[in-house]
Amino acid sequence: MGETIVLAGASGFVGRYLAEHYRAAGATVRLIGRAGADARWGDADAVRRAVTGADVLINLAGKSVNCRYTPANRAEILRSRVETTRELREAVAASDAPPVVWFNASTATIYRHAEDRPMTEATGELGTGFSVDVARAWEDELFAGELPATRRVALRMAIVLGDGSALGPLRMLTRAGLGGPQVDGRWFSTAARRRAGTFHTFGARGGRQRFSWVHLADVLGSIEFLRGRPDIAGPVNIAAPNPTDNRTMMATLRRVLGVRFGLPARRWMLELGSAVIRTETELVLKSRWVVPERLLDAGYAFAFPDLEAALRDIAGERRVAAPASGSLD
């Protein structure tokens, strides 16, 4: 392949997947991150050297949102995205051979809770609250200033499905008989949560909140496709073209796993459970209805446009990885 790929924040399962792919293809992969990386955050000269001469820069840095939205965690979720993106932008600006294209992670959560229609890059409406504020700040930092030699693309990724993704906990719940829909309902709020924008307001009924997703292979496929389209810059939705809803998603997962039934989880159960495992109900109750209009219009062909085929592919990979147990986990 003979090219140089720079991956920032590549310790998660998406980053590891991309690094393995590019190395297997013969590329030189430079890592920017914390311990063990080629350049560490905070070392401006090292980061500038890392991006210099790169064909592609991909930034995935950011603290996981799968946590309780305490003041400390909220501050770190924001800082870990905005400051790292700013550091990369300054490094690219200072480089005498900047990368040709920069893909920066963003999130499909930037759009509002949508039950009425899908959100596209052209007609989607941005939402409100903490998660949306973070996404806005993240993209604002990416597109700030002038970088005339570097095309910038914000990857508004839906929930990424793959080995090591959010599917792990859902598989465990499903095999334990708890693989029914996650059902929204009314719940008490506090002034502090309202001020912080972290309270999920009751929306979709009966587990019909929309579920937008993308197979890990199509994250890579989208990036590679967009590399060959220098006419595309700005926000791009990275989501499968056939979103579903929570109830259908859980039924599909049960079918793939061979589980005949699944008890639903009501809002009160989710609130109590999320407090115990230190996460937030927004992650499963917000209705995310996102379609990849720009990718489809440009002619990208998804490897996994349908959910069941995507889940069966991931389940098959698990079986190959663990033939002795035959387990999906």
Question: For 298-311, how does the pLDDT look when each residue is reduced to its tens digit (9 = 90+)?
Answer: 999 999 999 999 99
- pLDDT value of residue 172: 86
- pLDDT value of residue 318: 54
pTM for this prediction: 0.93
- pLDDT value of residue 327: 29
User: Can you read off the two tokens belonging to residue 212?
Assistant: 């937008």
Q: Does residue 149 contact residue 98 with C-beta atoms inside 8 Å?
A: yes
- pLDDT value of residue 299: 98
Burial class (CB in 10 A: 0-12, 13-18, 19+), 64: exposed
Q: Does residue 98 contact residue 51 with C-beta atoms inside 8 Å?
A: yes
Residues 6+ apart with CB under 8 A from 190: 199
Question: Using the 8-state DSSP alphabet, how is residue 55 labeled?
Answer: S
Under-50 pLDDT residues of the chain: 1, 320-329
Question: For 120-174, how does the pLDDT look when each residue is reduced to its tens digit (9 = 90+)?
Answer: 999 999 999 999 999 999 999 999 999 999 999 999 999 999 987 778 888 888 9
